[in-house]
C-alpha cells in the first residue's frame, strides 16, 4: 500500500520522514512537488547529514527522460515559485503522471508532502487505496518556528511578547506572506480582521489542517489519520505503529531504533501563558478547529 503524508511547513514532517527512511523495504519520497534542484542536507529537521532530495532528483531524471519538452520546473507546484499553485485543487496531467510514476509501484511506498493540502482528492484519484496521514503540530509552536526562523535568528525582533503578538510587517518566511494572502482570499466571506505577522501563520495552519482533513476523510475514509507532532515525540513507536497499521505492516526494528535514539521532546511554547494566544485564535477563526485537532483543551486551559 501507498502512504501519503501531508503536513504544514515547520510542523515536524521531516522527523517522521527521517524515521521512515530507515525502513529498507520502503520506497520513500521527500517533497515530490518541491523544486528539489539543490541539495537539502538534513531537510527540515536537520537530524541527518543526508541530501533528502537526492533520491527524488534521480527519479525525476528517469521520469523526464522520455518526455521531451517537459522540465523539472513543470513538477515544482508551489511556493516560492508560485504560491497560487498550492491552492489549485487539480493536478496538471504531467504532474499526475509523475506522481503515479513515484507512487504506483510494487512494494510499500510513501511520500511526504507540504504542498498537497488542496489536492487531496486529486491524489486520491491516483492512489485510491492509499493510507493518508495528516501530520500536525501545535499551531503556537509552528508560529514560533516561522517567526523566529532557523537558529532563532529573528528572536531579537519577535522575542518580546508585545512585538510577537502585535507586529504587522512585510516579513515572510517559507512564503508565509503570499500563502497567507491566498488563505485570506479563501476566507473572504468571513471578513476576518487584518492579521498580525503571527496571525498570518495561524491562518495558514487553519487552512492546511481544515482543507486537508476535510478532504482526507471524504477521500480515504478510515484510512485517514491525524498524527500530532507532540504525540510522535512523546511515543514515536506508538505513532509509527498507527502509521504502519494503514499498510498492514509491523514497524521495522530499524525504524523504531532510530526513532528511540533521535526523536526529542519539543521545547516550551514562547509566551505560552499569554492570553493573546487565545485572542489570536478567536480572531482567525481557529477555536473549533483546535478542538477537532485535539489541541483545544491544552491551549484553552
Q: For 6-29, how does the pLDDT look when each residue is reduced to its tens digit (9 = 90+)? A: 999 999 999 999 999 999 999 999
Calculate the CA dihedral of residues 81, 174, 20, 85 and round it to 10 degrees: -30
Q: Is the confidence at residue 301, as pLDDT, over 80? A: no
- Mapped onto helix, strand or coil, the DSSP state of residue 44 is coil
Do residues 158 and 167 lie in contact, with contact meaning Cβ atoms separated by under 8 Å? yes
Do residues 47 and 283 lie in contact, with contact meaning Cβ atoms separated by under 8 Å? no
Range of the domain at 232: 2-300
User: Residue 92 has what pLDDT?
Assistant: 97
**pTM metric for this prediction:** 0.96
Question: Cell numbers 508551489 correspond to what residue?
Answer: 78
- Domain count for the chain, please give it: 1
Q: What is the mean pLDDT of the chain?
A: 95
Q: Is the confidence at residue 300, as pLDDT, over 80? A: no
| CATH number of the domain to which 112 belongs | 3.40.50
H-only helix segments in the chain: 13-20, 54-65, 93-103, 120-126, 139-148, 155-158, 161-166, 176-186, 197-220, 229-234, 236-245, 253-262, 276-283, 287-292, 296-300
User: Residue 296 has what pLDDT?
Assistant: 87
The strand pair at 27-30 and 2-7 is best described as unpaired
Amino acid at each position: 500500500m501507498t502512504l501519503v503524508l501531508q503536513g504544514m511547513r515547520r510542523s515536524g514532517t521531516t522527523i517522521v520522514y527521517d524515521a521512515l527512511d530507515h525502513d529498507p523495504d520502503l520506497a520513500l519520497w521527500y517533497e515530490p512537488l518541491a523544486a528539489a534542484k539543490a541539495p537539502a542536507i538534513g531537510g527540515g529537521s536537520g537530524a541527518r547529514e543526508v541530501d533528502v532530495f537526492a533520491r527524488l532528483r534521480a527519479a525525476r531524471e528517469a521520469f523526464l527522460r522520455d518526455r521531451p519538452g517537459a522540465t523539472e520546473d513543470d513538477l515544482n507546484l508551489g511556493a516560492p515559485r508560485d504560491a497560487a499553485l498550492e491552492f489549485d485543487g487539480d493536478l496538471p496531467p504531467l504532474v499526475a503522471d509523475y506522481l503515479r510514476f513515484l507512487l504506483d509501484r510494487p512494494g510499500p511506498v510513501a511520500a511526504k508532502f507540504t504542498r498537497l493540502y488542496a489536492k487531496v482528492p486529486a491524489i486520491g484519484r491516483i492512489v485510491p487505496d492509499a493510507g493518508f496521514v495528516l501530520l500536525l503540530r501545535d499551531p503556537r509552536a509552528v508560529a514560533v518556528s516561522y517567526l523566529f526562523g532557523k537558529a532563532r535568528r529573528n528572536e531579537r525582533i519577535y522575542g518580546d511578547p508585545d512585538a510577537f503578538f502585535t507586529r504587522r510587517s512585510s516579513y515572510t518566511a517559507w512564503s508565509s506572506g503570499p500563502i497567507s494572502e491566498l488563505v485570506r482570499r479563501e476566507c473572504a466571506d468571513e471578513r476576518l480582521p487584518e492579521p498580525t505577522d503571527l496571525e498570518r501563520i495561524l491562518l495558514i495552519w487553519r487552512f492546511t489542517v481544515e482543507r486537508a482533513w476535510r478532504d482526507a476523510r471524504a477521500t480515504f475514509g478510515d484510512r485517514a489519520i491525524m498524527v500530532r507532532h507532540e504525540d510522535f515525540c512523546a511515543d514515536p513507536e506508538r505513532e509509527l505503529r498507527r502509521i504502519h497499521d494503514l499498510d498492514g505492516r509491523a514497524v521495522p526494528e530499524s525504524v523504531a531504533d532510530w526513532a528511540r535514539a533521535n526523536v526529542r521532546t519539543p521545547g516550551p511554547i514562547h509566551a505560552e501563558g499569554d492570553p493573546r494566544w487565545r485572542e489570536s485564535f478567536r480572531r482567525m477563526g481557529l477555536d473549533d478547529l483546535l478542538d477537532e485537532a485535539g489541541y483545544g483543551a491544552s491551549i484553552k486551559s
